[in-house]
Homo-oligomer: A and B are copies of this chain.
Amino acid sequence: MIKVGIVGGTGYTGVELLRILAGHPAVKLTAITSRGEAGQRVSDMFPSLRHRVDLHFVAPEDAALEQCDVVFFATPNGVAMKQAPALVAAGVKLIDLAADFRLDAATWEKWYGMSHAAPELLAEAVYGLPEINRAQIRKARVLANPGCYPTAVQLGFLPLIEADAVALDHLIADAKSGVSGAGRKAAVANLYAEVTDSFKAYGVGGHRHLPEIRWGLSRVAGGRNIGLTFVPHLTPMVRGIHATLYARLTRELSEADLQALFETRFAGETFIDVMPPGSHPETRSVRASNHCRIAVHRPQNGDTVVVLSVIDNLVKGAAGQAVQNMNIMFGEEESLGLTMTPVSP
């Protein structure tokens, strides 16, 4: 059994990790920390976990995390990087669901507005998008779990960029997220009465996932520069990201060619489902599961390819992908504990 600790389990990513890990046959949940909630039963805060998770929150200093095999950080940005060196030194693997180990140090410091506390671990860290990076993940000590938008967007652009089929200077990612992506913190902007029955863009001027996507796609593109316009939107739903991607073809590829390109690229990927030609995947078709469903279109036979990519932001966009990475890091079957069927309706 893999002994698992969780730091910061009071947000949506944390409770989703608990939901998944509670049903994972190779995991023993050992400790979950929260300074604010220390002493409280986890299931008193999250009644959905009653009789499934019997832990209490403990203060970080009482958690004995160094005795875990792996520790997940479901914390705000800037927390994991401070605790990482001690844990790594103790032989504990670390999976950070926040942004501390993504990007390079210079870009990170620019977008996150702090200096990095563990730049050498940042340099060593592996970016955990298994469909791109599986071999390195296997050996990772510090794993940077990708952001939700970056997961949906990168997976959608991936075959096109690897095949050098589109102009890299003018990619557009119009992405729509459910509200759980904003986290479980008290904020007027995320109240029910503010969010429901309305739709808006945000962060058009610059969202932190923009550099992450550019950086990831640039690596796929052999280091070439990525000209990306990324507009995230808030959608009145809980879970789900729908990325609508636009790119200009640089060579003639029929819709059938594009379909074959995607199917070939993702053949054998358990969690990537290339939908039949002409499909429009719905976010609910992946709700509460680790799947990414993708459809590729070439409208009106024009020069613009449109990719539709949907995930559950809390699963493939966060906790599920983290568990997928854990499975790889510990030599388990990649889908272990992740075979749940999406919940729909």
Residues of chain A at the chain B interface (Cβ within 8 Å)? 12, 15, 19, 22-23, 46-52, 170, 172, 174, 176, 178-180, 184-188, 190-202, 204-206, 210, 227, 229-231, 233, 235-240, 242, 244, 246, 248, 273, 275, 278, 280-289, 293, 297, 299-300, 302-304, 306, 308, 310, 339-345
Q: If the complex has contacts A19-B343, A174-B174, A187-B186, are A302 and B227 also in contact, measured as CB distance less than 8 A?
A: yes
Q: If the complex has contacts A48-B287, A199-B237, are A248 and B179 also in contact, measured as CB distance less than 8 A?
A: no
Q: How far is the CB of A214 from chain B (nearest CB, A)?
A: 10
Chain B residue with minimal CB distance to A246? Answer: B172
Apart from A23-B339, A47-B282, A176-B235, what 18 extra A-B contacts exist at CB < 8 Å?
A: A19-B343, A19-B344, A47-B285, A47-B293, A172-B172, A174-B174, A184-B188, A186-B187, A190-B191, A196-B236, A197-B197, A198-B282, A204-B280, A204-B299, A206-B300, A229-B299, A231-B299, A235-B235
**Bound Cα distance A147, B227 (Å):** 33
**Bound Cα distance A345, B280 (Å):** 25
Tell me which residues across on chain B come within 8 A of A48, comparing CB atoms: 284-287, 289, 341-344
Can you pick out 20 interface pairs between chain A and chain B where the beta carbons lie within 8 Å of each other? A47-B285, A48-B341, A50-B285, A170-B170, A170-B303, A170-B304, A176-B199, A176-B233, A176-B235, A179-B193, A185-B188, A187-B191, A191-B191, A198-B240, A198-B287, A199-B310, A201-B244, A205-B300, A229-B306, A236-B236
Q: How far is the CB of A342 from chain B (nearest CB, A)?
A: 4
Contact B187 A190 (CB under 8 A): no
Contact A204 B237 (CB under 8 A): no
Contact B345 A180 (CB under 8 A): yes
Contact A284 B233 (CB under 8 A): no
Tell me which residues across on chain B come within 8 A of A52, comparing CB atoms: 341
Q: How many monomers of this protein are in the complex?
A: 4
**Bound Cα distance A205, B278 (Å):** 7
Tell me which residues across on chain B come within 8 A of A240, comparing CB atoms: 197-199
Q: If the complex has contacts A180-B193, A196-B192, are A273 and B233 also in contact, measured as CB distance less than 8 A?
A: no
Tell me which residues across on chain B come within 8 A of A281, comparing CB atoms: 47, 200
**Bound Cα distance A275, B47 (Å):** 9
Contact A231 B204 (CB under 8 A): no
Chain B residue with minimal CB distance to A181? Answer: B193
Q: If the complex has contacts A341-B48, A343-B48, are A179 and B204 also in contact, measured as CB distance less than 8 A?
A: no
